[in-house]
Each structure stands twice: as C-alpha cells, then as structure tokens.
C-alpha cells in the first residue's frame, strides 16, 4: 500500500500483539487461558489488518478495538479475534466454518491456520468485497457463500470447528448438528445491542453438548 511506512507498521503490529497478551492475562480468570497458541499470534502478525478496514480507518488498523466496516457491521477487536481463534484449536488439516465473513479479516486468520475455511455472509456487498480482497491476497483454501449463516453449510459438514462472528439470541441448531464430535463451536449469545456471553460449545460422539461460558462481549446481531 503506497505511502505506508513498513517499519512503523511492523512496530505497531508488535504493540498490538503485546496489548493482546496483556488482555489475555487480564481475562484469564474468565477464560482459563493466560496464554494463546504462538501460531495464533503469528497469524495475527502476518495478516495486514489495514487491508480489511475502510481507507479512512487505516491509521487505526493496529488499535485493539472494533471498527465500522459499513452496512451496519464491524471488524472485531483483535483480542477477541485472537481468543476466539485460539478456542477453535485449529490445525493444518482442520475444516472450519465461519458465520459472518464481514470484511474477511477473521477469515484470513483462519485460513492461515486451517486446511479449509468455509465462510458465509448474509450481506451481499460485504461478501463480494471480502471474496475479492481475500483472493487478491492469494488465499486459495477459502470457500465463500452468500446466505443465511444460521443454516450453516450442510453439504460440507461436519466441521472440526465453527466460529460465529455475530451475536445470536440462541444457538442455531443447524450449527450444533454440523459440528464434528470433539470440535468447538465458539459463538456470542445474548440479546441484540446488549452485553452477550462468549460460549465455547463441544459435542461428543453421542451428541451430548457441553457448554462453557467465557467473558462478556458485544457483537452486532446475527441476521
């Protein structure tokens, strides 16, 4: 990107990673995590967040906070991106479903860690822009769909991990059904425009569900 000081950019990335590490330690009593997988930090270091925000917000790209991306949606706080990604426990052979592509930032982080990413976005203008952006950046392990994310992606199921980047008032049953036994579904649940709870959900081979509540969060509603 013309005009950007890459040395300063790298320094700001490291400052952001330090801020995330501090936030991880500060919330460890809620998450049972005082450190994240180093691979998650490496993905955050590699993915240029400035490519996923509006041009007028590029100076804020390395700020640890959410930003407006248009269409009433936001790009999540990097700390939350890091934590949710870590909870998924991804490996190079993982198949992960993302509900809410947004600008594609979380998608890119997932694509750095997983074998295949399936991402669903309901808002066509965001879906099309994210697809073009991610393909331009060279990602070839991402599958895109425009539609109702609450239905998941049944023909590609089961998934080793599912992440929802908008708040549902209740857990969509289709997502539970599409989760592979032993996998993680990470989702914010609660009323729209109020404080929600981040949940980490697993299911066993018999279909039994285990749900763990983590920290309070604030996401835009799942449409």
User: Quick one: average pLDDT of 54-67?
Assistant: 94
Q: Rounded to two decimals, what is the model's pTM?
A: 0.95
CATH architecture of 6-217: 3-Layer(aba) Sandwich (3.40)
| Residue-level pLDDT at 7 | 72
Give the model's confidence band at 6: pLDDT under 50 very low, under 70 low, under 90 confident, else very high. low
Give pLDDT tens digits for 119-140. 999 999 999 999 999 999 999 9
pLDDT digits (tens, 9 = 90+) for 39-50: 999 999 999 999
* Residue 155: both structure tokens together: 């023909």
The tokens describing 194, both together, are 């109020």
Q: Crossing angle, helix 6-26 and helix 38-46, to 10 degrees? A: 150
Q: What are phi and psi of 221, to 5 degrees?
A: -70, 150
For all residues of the chain together, what is the average pLDDT? 94
Summarised one tens digit per residue, pLDDT across range 152-161 is 999 999 999 9
Q: How many CB atoms lie within 10 A of CB 73?
A: 21
* Cis preceding-peptide flag for 162 (omega within 30 of 0): no
Domain range list for the chain: 6-217
Axis crossing angle, helix 124-136 with helix 105-113, rounded to the nearest 10: 40
Q: Give me 177's structure tokens.
A: 């059904």
Q: How many C-beta atoms lie closer than 10 Å to residue 205's C-beta?
A: 8
pLDDT at position 88 is: 98
Q: What is the pLDDT confidence band of residue 107, given thresholds at 50, 70 and 90? A: very high
The 3 state secondary structure assigned to 110-147 is HHHHCCEEEEEECCHHHHHHHHHHHHHCCCCCEEEEEC
pLDDT, residue 1, reads 45
Place of tokens 């925000």: 53
Pairing of strands 196-203, 209-217: antiparallel
By CB atoms closer than 10 A (0-12, 13-18, 19+), residue 190 is buried
**What is the pLDDT, as a whole number, of residue 204?**
85
Which of the residues 76, 94, 103, 170 is marked catalytic? 76
Does residue 170 have an active-site annotation? Answer: no
Secondary structure (DSSP) of 67-107: EEEETTEEEPPHHHHHHHHHHH---TT-EEEEE--TTSHHH
Task: Give me the pLDDT at residue 208, please.
Answer: 87
- Condensed to tens digits (0 to 9), the pLDDT of residues 161-207 reads 999 999 999 999 999 999 999 999 999 999 988 899 999 999 888 88
């Amino acid at each position: 990107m013309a005009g950007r000081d890459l040395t300063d950019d790298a320094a700001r990335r490291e400052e952001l990673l330090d801020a995330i590490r501090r936030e991880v330690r500060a919330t460890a009593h809620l998450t049972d995590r005082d450190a994240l997988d180093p691979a998650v930090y490496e993905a955050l270091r590699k993915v240029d967040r400035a490519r996923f925000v509006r041009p007028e917000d590029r100076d804020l790209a390395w700020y640890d906070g959410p930003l407006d991306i248009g269409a009433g949606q936001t790009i999540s706080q990097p700390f939350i991106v890091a934590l949710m990604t870590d909870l998924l426990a991804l490996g190079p052979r993982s198949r992960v479903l993302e509900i809410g592509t947004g600008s594609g930032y979380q998608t890119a982080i997932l694509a750095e860690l997983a074998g295949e990413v399936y991402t669903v976005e309901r808002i066509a203008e965001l879906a099309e822009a994210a697809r073009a952006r991610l393909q331009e950046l060279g990602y070839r392990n991402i599958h895109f769909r425009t539609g109702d994310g609450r239905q998941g992606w049944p023909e590609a199921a089961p998934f080793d991990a599912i992440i929802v980047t908008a708040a549902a008032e209740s857990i969509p049953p289709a997502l539970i059904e599409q989760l592979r036994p032993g996998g993680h579904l990470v989702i914010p649940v609660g009323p729209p425009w109020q404080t929600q709870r981040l949940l980490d959900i697993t299911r066993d081979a018999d279909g039994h569900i285990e749900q763990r509540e983590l920290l309070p969060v604030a996401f835009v509603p799942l449409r």
